[in-house]
C-alpha cells in the first residue's frame, strides 16, 4: 500500500540521503545502523515495567530503524551503489529486526503469546512470499495490505498509545497478525493469477 507512495517518499529523502553520503555513510552502513536501532528498540521494550517512557523510546527507535531502511535504498539509487549483496543483506537484516521486535514484545508480556506468534510468523512469511515470487520474476512490490512500512507504523502508533492504555499494544499485535497473514493470502492469490496466465499463454 504505502509502497505506492514510494516516489514521493524518495523525493523527500533525497536531501538527507545526500547529507548521509557526504559524511561517508554507504547503504550497507545505513542498513547496519538500522538493525542496531531495531535491537535498541527491542531493549527498550524489555524495560517498560520500570517506566512507561521506555515504550515511547521503543517506538521512536523503531521509527528511526524504518527510516534507515528507506534511506539506504535511496542512497544506493542516487549514487549507483545498488548491489545484489546489498539487497540480500538489507532483506536479511530486516527479518532479524522484525523477529527480535516481535519476540521481545511477546517475552516482555506486552501481548498475548498466540497473537504475537501469529504476527511474527505472518511478518516473516510476507517477506518470504515476496522473495520467492521475485525469484520467479513476479513483481510483488505494493502487493498486499500490510507491507513492512505499514507494519512499522501500526506497531509504533499502538506502542505510543500503550503509554496511556497498555492494552493498545496487544490490540496492535492482533491487527498485525490478521493483516500480515491476510497479506500472505493476497500475495498468494496474486502469484496464482500470474502463473495461471503464464500457463495459458504457453499452451497457446
pLDDT for the residue 43: 97
C-alpha cell at 31: 542498513
pLDDT digits (tens, 9 = 90+) for 16-26: 888 888 898 88
Angle at 42 between CA 41 and CA 45, to 5 degrees: 90
pLDDT for the residue 6: 57
Q: Is 136 a catalytic residue?
A: no
pLDDT for the residue 80: 85
35-44, 74-83, 182-191: segment of lowest average pLDDT: 74-83
For residue 129, give the H/E element and its range.
helix 113-135
CA torsion sign for 29, 30, 32, 36 is positive
Q: Is 11 exposed, middle or buried (0-12, 13-18, 19+ CB in 10 A)?
A: exposed
- In a 13 Å sphere around the CA of 198, the CA atoms on its Cβ side amount to 9
Model pTM? 0.88
Enumerate domains of the chain plus CATH numbers. 2-203 (1.20.120.1760)
SS3 helix, strand, coil % of the chain, rounded to 5? 80, 0, 20
**Of the ranges 59-73, 125-139, 161-175, the best mean pLDDT one:** 161-175
pLDDT for residue 5 is more than 60: no
- Local confidence band at 156 (pLDDT 50, 70, 90 cut-offs): very high
Task: Give the whole-angstrom CA distance, residue 22 versus residue 35.
Answer: 22
Residues 6+ apart with CB under 8 A from 34: 65, 66, 67, 68, 69, 72, 93, 97
Catalytic option among 90, 94, 98, 136: 94
Task: Give the whole-angstrom CA distance, residue 46 versus residue 28.
Answer: 28
pLDDT for residue 10 is more than 80: no
pLDDT digits (tens, 9 = 90+) for 92-113: 899 999 999 999 999 999 999 9
Separation of CA 73 from chain center:
14
Amino acid at each position: 500500500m504505502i509502497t505506492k507512495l514510494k516516489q514521493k517518499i524518495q523525493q523527500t529523502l533525497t536531501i538527507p540521503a545526500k547529507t548521509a553520503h557526504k559524511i561517508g555513510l554507504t547503504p550497507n552502513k545505513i542498513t547496519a545502523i538500522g538493525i542496531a536501532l531495531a535491537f535498541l528498540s527491542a531493549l527498550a521494550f524489555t524495560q517498560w515495567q520500570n517506566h512507561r517512557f521506555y515504550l515511547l523510546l521503543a517506538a521512536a527507535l523503531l521509527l528511526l530503524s524504518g527510516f534507515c531502511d528507506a534511506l539506504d535504498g535511496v542512497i544506493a539509487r542516487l549514487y549507483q551503489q545498488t548491489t545484489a549483496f546489498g539487497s540480500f543483506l538489507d532483506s536479511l537484516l530486516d527479518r532479524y529486526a522484525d523477529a527480535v521486535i516481535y519476540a521481545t514484545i511477546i517475552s516482555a508480556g506486552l501481548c498475548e503469546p498466540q497473537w504475537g506468534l501469529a504476527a511474527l510468523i505472518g511478518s516473516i512469511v510476507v517477506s518470504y512470499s515476496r522473495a520467492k515470487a521475485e525469484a520467479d520474476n513476479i513483481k510483488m512490490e505494493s502487493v498486499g495490505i500490510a507491507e513492512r512500512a505499514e507494519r512499522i507504523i501500526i506497531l509504533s502508533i499502538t506502542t505510543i498509545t500503550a503509554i496511556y492504555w497498555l492494552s493498545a499494544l496487544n490490540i496492535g499485535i492482533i491487527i498485525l497478525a490478521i493483516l500480515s497473514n491476510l497479506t500472505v493470502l493476497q500475495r498468494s492469490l496474486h502469484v496464482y493469477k500470474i502463473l495461471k496466465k503464464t500457463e495459458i499463454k504457453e499452451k497457446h
